[in-house]
Structure 1
């Protein structure tokens, strides 16, 4: 074999090996800071790499929208997403849910909460009595826990459209909203029971200045989602790793320690796209509420928008396994 032919064969073998062992990227939401999230999750990602035989890289991003964008472009193949972002991925036929988070003690649900300072409004009723008076720090629009749930349950159900009610609105992650409230740049802030517990641990003195004035009904914790175009064998390895992690095997006790430091988790529970049914109804009801208060649309335009909303809702219900 000539040197050139040998070079071509070796190049083909190398390229094939690389194609068989591509890098996998896992993305997580940095609710308390990018460096902290990366430090918390890296030990688990290292174990995932060893279990799958793949080079697995970790990235932590500040917003759900960044995570969703990177996942959609196939820059991330596994992600911890909130339910709205996961719903978008499933609707676009890019991702599928295979697990959901469970916290220490086996807690598998969270509640959205509204916070004020102890020298601020003492109740949600007090907030609602004074339109155009308060400053509100809330989540980004793609956040289910910090944006959609309080928007609907705390405000829309009280016939209040947030964008018209508050004097000032800022959007950020849980820690951003917490700090805005403590630093007196906001009067009301949204977060969720999971993040609030972590912020309590991180800022115990600041936490003492605040109080919870409202809690939502309970919702399932964030799902884990993977790309549908990953090879089936790799999907099986990834799913098996997370569902067994901290529960089975000789290293389970040590793995539980790693889980605790990664967002105070106890492990992962089996799940599927059907988990997202929790948010489809919520999205529809909130969108219809906004539409009802829209003074700029004609009756014909509103009717067409309503049809579009119901058409999407019915499509989603079908994709997610039908009515409850």
Structure 2
């Protein structure tokens, strides 16, 4: 993985963490990279101008690329989902420092399962009952709303394994999955409320062909993560920029609205990831309980370990 990442980053990454004034900011691949770049580049330009840092953008084709980049000091800051942020914290020396804030005051967003408007499936139960004849567009394994949340709430709680129960399973980003549903290339797919809003804006006619059949509990808004190895002065500059961005300036307010209908960013920490850690452990617990290959003694031991980890998160 790192060899592939190194080739992709070569054009823009030459200094790493040793050059405190060079920052590579990376972005999760929720949609086509050209769309993400169009939305985020004005903010990155402002960041460079206001902080004096040299800010490079890296648009990874997958979440793992960002995590590996941060692990090896080639990515210094990133917009991530909660699940991928957890991976960056655990594996790549990352730390959450900010969280997005919705313009309408809501505290999060939702994961969805979507189908074509002509689909006979109208509920999650319809999908589960007819899965053997359905193709499924899953999200990136490190996606919160595209994989972890539906994987637990829609599937694990119903003792349903997408890999073995659906006719066909493939993984893609949110936009690709949505358009695959529209074009009837997959029967059902994961998505989220934020991406569907963007689909509605960018492809209004295609959006009319999408039907939401399942909605998750509220998911905390996405975090921003930086590498712990950054110089303290550089960290302070980045935090100050995001915490104060779009507070009063009308142009900046327009920029964050275009990002994802935001009002700006607020301070956050790794504590934001606790619900995601709990979800991940709950999912593991369900798999252990359903594993018929384990002896009762092994199962009891593994479940006790999971319960101990869950208790530590309380």
TM category (shorter chain) comes to 0.7 to 0.9
Match of 1:30 in 2: 29
Q: 1:172-321, aligned counterparts within 5 Å?
A: 172-248=172-248, 252-307=249-304, 309-310=306-307, 313=310, 317=313
Q: Distance in 2 between matches of 1:80 and 1:216?
A: 22
Match of 2:94 in 1: 95
Higher Rg of the two aligned structures:
1
Unaligned ranges ≥5, structure 1? 1-17, 318-322
Q: TM-score, normalised by structure 1?
A: 0.85
Unaligned ranges ≥5, structure 2? 1-16
Q: CA deviation at 1:210?
A: 1.7
Q: Distance in 1 between matches of 2:25 and 2:164?
A: 38
Q: TM-score, normalised by structure 2?
A: 0.88
Q: Using a 3 Å threshold, how does the CA distance of structure 1 residues 21 and 188 change in structure 2: closer, same or farther? A: closer
Q: Distance in 2 between matches of 1:173 and 1:59?
A: 17
Residues 204-252 of structure 1: per-residue CA shift (max 9 Å, x gap): 111111211110110111100111111112111111110100004xxx1
Q: CA deviation at 1:300?
A: 4.8
What is the SS of the residue equivalent to 1:65?
Answer: helix
Q: Distance in 1 between matches of 2:258 and 2:60?
A: 18
Q: Distance in 2 between matches of 1:225 and 1:19?
A: 18
Q: CA deviation at 1:265?
A: 2.5
Q: CA deviation at 1:100?
A: 0.6
Q: CA deviation at 1:21?
A: 4.9
Q: Conserved in 1, the CA contact under 8 Å of 2:137 and 2:190?
A: yes
Q: Conserved in 1, the CA contact under 8 Å of 2:112 and 2:150?
A: yes
Q: Conserved in 2, the CA contact under 8 Å of 1:101 and 1:268?
A: yes
Q: For structure 1, which segment, 89-98 or 31-40, has the greater mean C-alpha deviation from structure 2 after superposition?
A: 89-98
Residues 25-49 of structure 1: per-residue CA shift (max 9 Å, x gap): 1111232211221121111111111
